[in-house]
Chains A and B, each alone.
Chain A
Amino acid sequence: MLKRTIPLIIASIVGIVLILAKFSHPIQSWETEVVMWFDILAVFAFVLGAGNLNLNNLKKISERKAGWGYAAITLLAFWITLICGIGKLGVPPNEKYLAYAWSGSYEAEGSAFWWIFNYVYVPLAATMFATLAFYISSAAFRAFRANNVEASLLLLTALLVLVAQTSSGPMLTDQIPEESAWAIFKIDTIRGTLVNLFNTLGTRAIMIGIALGVVSTSLKVLMGVDQSYLGGD
């Protein structure tokens, strides 16, 4: 009862009220209230996430599972960053309240948290992302092959988009007059057709499908048919 029925009733009532709030002026402010609850709850998600991170990694370390060293580094990084941020280590005081040592912001320039973000996180994140360029070139050589009709079409499209995404690519067909029948072969026109016609049509179809799926799932949740969000016993 407490585990399933009451949560189901709460979910149904809140959902129905929020739908009604869209159409009924007197209860429109309720929507704002509920969204505010959501935003407050989102803060607790960080606490849950941190708890989960600690639990899983401590378990991995205590059981000496493969890669437990990485788990130890993860935990170390987490706690150092958290302590530096919450403890405001190295934070200069706010210009307005110089007498109070902790009045500055946790991410103020020169603070330990600021240093970790700029000199550890930023280079690591940028390096991880930049490494993709090297793997893309390797994959382009080994995997991007015109093995069949579908792959050939994909390859041709990719080549056209790659050329269109350069400054000089579209200039290759600049000599074709706009009003001529050959204008459809201008690289800009081809790219425009690919993006505005094929891509937009495909994406819209997917989006409409997703929206219908969301409506259907929401109705199931409101009516208590779908209880998967409550988890298993």
Chain B
Amino acid sequence: MDKFWNSLADLDRRWLFALTFLAISIPLLTGIVLPQKVTPMVENVFNAIDELPSGTKILMPLDYDPSAEGELQPMADAFLRHAAQKNHKIYFMTIWPTGVAMIQRQVATLKKEYPEYVYGEDYVNLGYRPGYEGVIKLITSDLPKLYGADQQGTPVAKIPMMADIDNIKQFPLIVNVSAGDPGLKQWVQYAATPFDSIEIVGGTTGVQASTLYPYIPNQMIGMIAGIKPAAEYEKLMFEKYPEIEKRPNSNMANVFMTSQEVAHFMLIGIIILGNLVMWQTSGRRDQS
């Protein structure tokens, strides 16, 4: 028995890497989806978009990069599909240089799944502006001052849906997806908190969530933190708008969630095993 525990104590970490690989990849390849229990916060975020009258102006800043895409893209897609389903007017922008490409993905999804959405009338891509939270501060008072043109260089004066936009106080809701600073925290601090007319919901990575919980519910309606709430959001969306479920890759959060579920249980097993090994071998190692 001692030999068994000692061999575990000296376990080559490549076995753990292989186990991790299998735990993550098998559920992804099988595409199995597990049932989700929707939490109240996800319901609040869903309702924030769903209860707005059709055609409401929504500001959608996408402040993330490819490294967080695996976790954030499913929720960004869910927000987009939900907003488009409600015929909301979508204003894309980003304060991350890499966010431009993330917006491009969203625009591509819109063009493919909602061909009736017309650029300049139903959605606009304002692109990236440098200045981090300085951008947010400025557009709370004067948006055209910073955004003279959209991402393609078209003057905002020539974009119909920008005609009556002076600042972001004219957006009843901000839907931000962010992977760090500047991101959701700054949108809450500089846009949603000082102005009662602006509400905010967000999507963020699991690791960032702990710093954002203190803003809920007074300064932020709620947030989707990680893949699990994103999967719950998809479930709510499919229940209300079943046609979305038929679209390709519309349930990515649910597929990813199965993978995460197996990986979490694997981690729990590894932690317990690691501690058992420690308890079984520490006494003997001390003696030796």
Residue A182 interfacial (CB < 8 Å): no
Which residues, 1 to 50 on B, are CB-close (under 8 Å) to A?
11, 13, 16-17, 19-21, 24, 34-37, 39
Nearest B residue (CB) for A208: B214
Given A137-B16, A168-B34, A199-B213, the answer on whether A126 and B270 have CB atoms closer than 8 Å is no
A137 near B267 with CB under 8 A, answer yes
Which residues, 109 to 157 on A, are CB-close (under 8 Å) to B?
109, 117-118, 121-122, 125-126, 128-130, 133-134, 136-138, 140-142, 144-147, 155
Residue in B135, B145, B214 with the greatest tally of chain A CB atoms within 10 Å: B214
Contacting residues, chain B, for A55 (C-beta < 8 A): none
- Could you say which of B36, B66, B268 contacts A121, with CB atoms under 8 Å apart? B66
Contacting residues, chain A, for B275 (C-beta < 8 A): 144-146, 155
B273 near A133 with CB under 8 A, answer no
Residue B86 interfacial (CB < 8 Å): no
B67 near A32 with CB under 8 A, answer no
Contacting residues, chain B, for A158 (C-beta < 8 A): 271
Q: How far does the Cβ of A128 sit from chain B's closest Cβ, in whole Å?
A: 6
Contacting residues, chain A, for B24 (C-beta < 8 A): 133
Residue A45 interfacial (CB < 8 Å): yes
A129 near B134 with CB under 8 A, answer no
- Could you say which of B130, B211, B231 contacts A42, with CB atoms under 8 Å apart? B130
B213 near A195 with CB under 8 A, answer yes
Given A105-B152, A137-B19, A163-B268, the answer on whether A199 and B260 have CB atoms closer than 8 Å is no
Q: How far does the Cβ of B169 sit from chain A's closest Cβ, in whole Å?
A: 13
Residue B265 interfacial (CB < 8 Å): yes
CA separation between A14 and B147, bound complex, in Å? 25
A129 near B130 with CB under 8 A, answer no
Residue B106 interfacial (CB < 8 Å): no
B17 near A162 with CB under 8 A, answer no
CA separation between A169 and B36, bound complex, in Å? 11
Residue B138 interfacial (CB < 8 Å): yes
A32 near B142 with CB under 8 A, answer yes
Contacting residues, chain B, for A128 (C-beta < 8 A): 67
A203 near B213 with CB under 8 A, answer yes
Residue B68 interfacial (CB < 8 Å): yes
Q: How many residues of A contact B (CB 8 A)?
A: 56
Q: How many residues of B contact A (CB 8 A)?
A: 61
- Could you say which of B65, B129, B268 contacts A39, with CB atoms under 8 Å apart? B129
Q: How far does the Cβ of B232 sit from chain A's closest Cβ, in whole Å?
A: 9
- Could you say which of A43, A126, A140, A166 contacts B70, with CB atoms under 8 Å apart? A126
A38 near B11 with CB under 8 A, answer no
- Could you say which of A118, A168, A203, A207 contacts B101, with CB atoms under 8 Å apart? A118
Residue B264 interfacial (CB < 8 Å): yes
A141 near B273 with CB under 8 A, answer yes
Q: How far does the Cβ of B178 sit from chain A's closest Cβ, in whole Å?
A: 15
Residue A165 interfacial (CB < 8 Å): yes
Residue in B135, B211, B271 with the greatest tally of chain A CB atoms within 10 Å: B271
CA separation between A126 and B19, bound complex, in Å? 20
Using A137-B267, A166-B264, A167-B34 as known contacts, list a sample of 15 further A-B pairs with CB atoms less than 8 Å apart, ordered by residue number in A. Answer: A35-B131, A35-B138, A39-B138, A122-B101, A125-B65, A129-B70, A133-B20, A137-B19, A155-B275, A162-B268, A165-B264, A168-B261, A169-B264, A195-B213, A203-B211
Across the A-B interface, give the 7 residue pairs with the lowest CB-CB distance, nearest first.
A39-B131, A125-B67, A129-B67, A125-B66, A42-B130, A122-B66, A42-B131
A-B contact pairs, 12 of them (CB 8 A): A32-B142, A42-B130, A141-B270, A142-B274, A145-B275, A146-B275, A147-B278, A159-B271, A162-B268, A165-B226, A167-B35, A170-B37
Enumerate chain B interface residues (CB-CB to A < 8 A): 11, 13, 16-17, 19-21, 24, 34-37, 39, 65-70, 98, 100-101, 104, 129-132, 134-135, 137-138, 141-142, 145-146, 151-153, 206, 210-211, 213-214, 226, 228, 231, 257, 260-261, 263-268, 270-271, 273-275, 278
